[in-house]
Amino acid sequence: MSEFQTYKKDLTRSRLVETDKTQALADLKAGDILVEIERFAFTANNVTYGAAGDTIGYWKFFPATANESGDWGCLPVWGFAEITASKIDGLFIGERIYGYFPPADFLVMSPIKVSPQRFMDGVAHRAELPGVYNNYLLMSGEANYDPSSDNVRALLNPLHVTSFCLCDALQSETYLGASQVLILSASSKTAIGLAQGLADAKDSPKVVGVTSRTNYDFVASLGCYDEIICYDQLGNIDESKTTVMVDMSGNRSVLGTLHEALGDNMLNCISVGMTHWETLSDNDPLAAKINRQRSSFFFAPAHVQKRVGDWGQDGFNQQAGAFTQARMQQSAGWMTVETVPDFGAFAEVYAEVVVGKMNPNEGLIVLPK
């Protein structure tokens, strides 16, 4: 059995470590289950988990095996697994679950708060981590569950929940009164979900997507941006309009250029992802031009927690579910799912995904077995 690990100091480096499922089964305690991971998605979102691994704690979810140096970690992924051993009432062998996993063949879990629809992993080292990542859904308890949508769900649901939260946050603040919303890395899947959500909103301001020249035609084909500007055309952005920026890229040079150009018209810069994580350097003089007082980091789990408090869990699930379902239906028109048959094949394409070489209209599903 294998576990795919990433070198924390250089996300392009990876290794496969052998794991012992037989020993894990022998060590299974009362109240534990062992699940075999069936499939998981890998996107730029997972790269963000690595880039912010120490800051937010993503490396802590699934401690790496055979990692005496502490230099290696497991990038969390979203996917589906099957319970193959159970020592707890209410969770049965053969049950399929959806949620947050390591890129590995199996995982030992300690379920708590078990219901017919869901449970949480109560393993001790995850207790202080954001609860939204510790929540697992039981497919047998889901009304109208369609297994044919598993791949798209694993790829898009986590991203489009973030898109929903961004839409909701912007709308609840009336877009801060901005005349335009500028979305950087407009070809990313989270950005697409956000732009499509804003396009559905009747009161949204102009939505401008910023993308590479390579991805321009793809972004234009989506039809959800009012205007599209390439990174080498930043001077074409209307600096006279009050602007909220939503940054999916983390490219400080681009941010510095835009912050300087917009000046007081830049009302807020919301940082979400790091698709260009390799450019994160304070040495670039343009990075010094970023207005830190008008910049904020958007942490979707915190917004989820707030809205669950406001609406209740069922209310949040209903609203977020309607949003993500609409986005999934729209994805049929632009996304192609590519399956990777095993970890060996995944290792070959991993580095390309990490440095942003994957086509934006593709989604990667890894089959560990």
Asked if residue 306 belongs to a domain, the reply is no
The model's pTM is 0.91
What pLDDT shows up at residue 45?
A: 84
With 90 as the cut, is the pLDDT of residue 119 above it? yes
| Claim to verify: residue 38 and residue 164 sit in the same structural domain | no
Q: Which two tokens stand for residue 237?
A: 């952005």
CATH number of 8's domain:
3.90.180
With 90 as the cut, is the pLDDT of residue 283 above it? no
With 60 as the cut, is the pLDDT of residue 280 above it? no
Amino acid identity, residue 243? T
Q: 93-132: buried (b, 16+ CB within 10 Å) or exposed (e) per residue? A: eebbbbbbbbbbbbbbbbbeebeeebbbbebeebeebbeb
The number of distinct structural domains making up the chain is 2
With 60 as the cut, is the pLDDT of residue 292 above it? yes
Asked if residue 315 belongs to a domain, the reply is no
Asked if residue 95 belongs to a domain, the reply is yes
| Claim to verify: residue 163 and residue 45 sit in the same structural domain | no
What pLDDT shows up at residue 276?
A: 43
Rounded to an integer, the average pLDDT of 58-85 is: 96
Q: How does DSSP classify residue 36?
A: E
Rounded to an integer, the average pLDDT of 278-300 is: 73
What pLDDT shows up at residue 340?
A: 96
C-alpha separations of 346 from 15, 133, 176, 316, 365 in Å: 11, 24, 43, 35, 9
196, with CB counted inside 10 A (0-12, 13-18, 19+), is buried
pLDDT in tens, 120-178: 999 999 999 988 899 999 999 998 899 999 999 999 999 999 999 999 999 999 999 99
Determine how β-strand 2-7 pairs with β-strand 72-73. antiparallel
Integer Cα distance of 94 and 349 in angstroms: 31
What pLDDT shows up at residue 275?
A: 47
pLDDT in tens, 213-270: 999 999 999 999 999 999 999 999 999 999 999 998 878 889 999 999 999 999 999 9
265, with CB counted inside 10 A (0-12, 13-18, 19+), is middle
Q: How does DSSP classify residue 29?
A: P
Going by pLDDT thresholds of 50, 70 and 90, the confidence category of residue 277 is very low
Domain boundary among 275, 301, 327: 301
In the block, tokens 């037989």 appear at 22
Domain boundary among 301, 327, 353: 301
Which secondary structure element, helix H or strand E, spans residue 151, and what is its range? helix 150-172
| Claim to verify: residue 181 and residue 113 sit in the same structural domain | no
Integer Cα distance of 64 and 73 in angstroms: 5
Going by pLDDT thresholds of 50, 70 and 90, the confidence category of residue 25 is very high
| Claim to verify: residue 164 and residue 287 sit in the same structural domain | yes
Q: What rounded mean pLDDT belongs to the chain?
A: 92
What pLDDT shows up at residue 352?
A: 87
- At residue 135, what are phi and psi to the nearest 5 degrees? -95, 130
% the chain with pLDDT above 90? 80
Going by pLDDT thresholds of 50, 70 and 90, the confidence category of residue 50 is confident
Integer Cα distance of 117 and 148 in angstroms: 19
Rounded to an integer, the average pLDDT of 328-341 is: 94
With 80 as the cut, is the pLDDT of residue 367 above it? yes
With 80 as the cut, is the pLDDT of residue 313 above it? yes
Asked if residue 239 belongs to a domain, the reply is yes
With 80 as the cut, is the pLDDT of residue 336 above it? yes
Which secondary structure element, helix H or strand E, spans residue 274, and what is its range? none
Number of H helices, E strands in the chain: 9, 18
**Domain carrying residue 19:** 2-145+335-366
With 60 as the cut, is the pLDDT of residue 282 above it? no
Asked if residue 317 belongs to a domain, the reply is no
- At residue 265, what are phi and psi to the nearest 5 degrees? -80, -10
